[in-house]
Amino acid sequence: MKIQLLFIAYLFCFTTIKAQKYEGLALTPPMGWNSWNTFQTNISDKLVREIADEMVSSGMKDAGYIYLVLDDGWMAKERDSNGNLVPDPKKFPGGIKVLIDYVHSKGLKFGLYNCAGTKTCAGYPGTRGYEYHDARFYASLGIDYLKYDWCNTEGINAKEAYTTMSNALHIAGRPIVFSLCEWGNNKPWEWAQNVGELWRTTGDITAKFDGILDHGTWKQLGVMPIADLQNGLRKYAGPGHWNDPDMLEVGNGMTVNEDRAHFSLWSILAAPLIAGNDLRKMSKETIEILTNKEVIAIDQDKAGMEGYKYKVKDSLEIWVRPLSEGDWAFCFLNRSISQKNIDFNWQSDVIFDTVSKRELNTKTNIYKLRDLWLKKDVGTTKKPLKAIIPAHDVLILRLSTKL
């Protein structure tokens, strides 16, 4: 009987656990850089300092990229005798605190990685059983962002694991943006609003526009397969709680057209903009895409209403997003491998968004059209829109009633 009562008490504890997270964090989607897409575990003190320097000198910091996040591989293979995580002494001979202080001195914020399981995805010490211990460690280091992965979690309940870590971060006493990298397996959008500031909606991204990279036991998804999987999730997102379709692959091997389309779609989706390229080797085109403040303004719109796919015809997709102050964003995406002609009559469509309860009616209101990649005004909704969009490219417009 005593054992049964203890078991019932255990179940009660974990079924009634409630998250406590800091309020006021990530009121717009987080922007920054993460080491994984390009460097995996090949990271070092020298690399982080160079990336921090480049975030400032390239104009990325001024464009809004604030978080420098060190992904898997930053720690030694074993905890110390007191159970503490230990920064890899070969990669970070001066320790991690001095590096964090350097990043902070640049006006940037710093993030670290760990995992809800017993080990991280690369086989380093995970946090299972050490949640409060590790949270105090992170707070003592002064980090600002925690990416929390989902490897080696057999038998672990996702909601319980992430809620426990969320509470641990709150009790540790430092405001830390909590990124749930759970891959969407347990539908975090349904329960994570009060747990963290962002949650992954899919598996890992790869630098392919419209394909999948199959590793046998797991797969990486291209940009468009991930975009397709966002359907139906927008009602869960908003200031302080964002759907995360994974990091950016801009500058990692796709064409300029595809990079531009990728960046535009992520902005329409109110996605976190976390660059994953080698900032030290950026082309002029990559810098221009990542630092386009007019497209970034769509992503960072204070109303926080995620956009959606409105219409599809012959591989030409129209994505829309309601913005603050009555504005709208329109993204015409050419998903095909040949150019497409647009002949869009604004007067023929009255759009009513059931999530934001907003209506776009160009019969009763005239909107100014602003091409966000050309950075110039291109007319109004009085006349039909005529344009040519190259393969795997976009035309993204801001519609404004301020003529």
Task: State the sign of the Cα–Cα–Cα–Cα dihedral 297, 300, 305, 307.
Answer: positive
- Based on the number of CB atoms within 10 Å of its own CB, is 90 exposed (0-12), middle (13-18) or buried (19 or more)? exposed
- The Cα–Cα gap between 286 and 185 comes to 32
What b/e sequence results for 192-201 when a residue is b if at least 16 CB atoms lie within 10 Å of its CB, and e otherwise? bbebbbbbbb
* 62 assigned to active site: no
Task: State the sign of the Cα–Cα–Cα–Cα dihedral 230, 236, 238, 240.
Answer: negative
Query: Which one of the listed residues 45, 134, 144, 149 is annotated catalytic?
Result: 149
Q: Identify the H or E element spanning 379.
A: strand 376-380
Q: Which of 354, 305, 349, 311 is nearest to 327 (CA)?
A: 305
- The Cα–Cα gap between 66 and 273 comes to 10
SS3 338: coil
Query: Long-range pairs for 343-347 at CB < 8 Å and ≥24 separation?
Result: 343/384, 343/385, 343/386, 344/318, 344/384, 344/385, 345/384, 346/381, 346/382, 346/383, 346/384, 346/385, 347/381, 347/384
Query: Long-range pairs for 93-98 at CB < 8 Å and ≥24 separation?
Result: 93/45, 94/45, 96/141, 97/141, 97/142
- The Cα–Cα gap between 304 and 324 comes to 8
Contact status, residue 320 vs residue 344, Cβ threshold 8 Å: no
- The Cα–Cα gap between 60 and 9 comes to 51
Q: Which strand ranges, in their side-by-side order, compose the sheet holding 67-69?
A: 242-244, 198-200, 177-180, 145-149, 109-115, 67-69, 31-34, 273-275
* 149 assigned to active site: yes
Query: Which one of the listed residues 204, 244, 259, 393 is annotated catalytic?
Result: 204
Q: Identify the H or E element spanning 376.
A: strand 376-380
Q: Which of 199, 226, 233, 229 is nearest to 212 (CA)?
A: 226
Contact status, residue 318 vs residue 328, Cβ threshold 8 Å: no
Active centre residues (catalytic): 149, 204
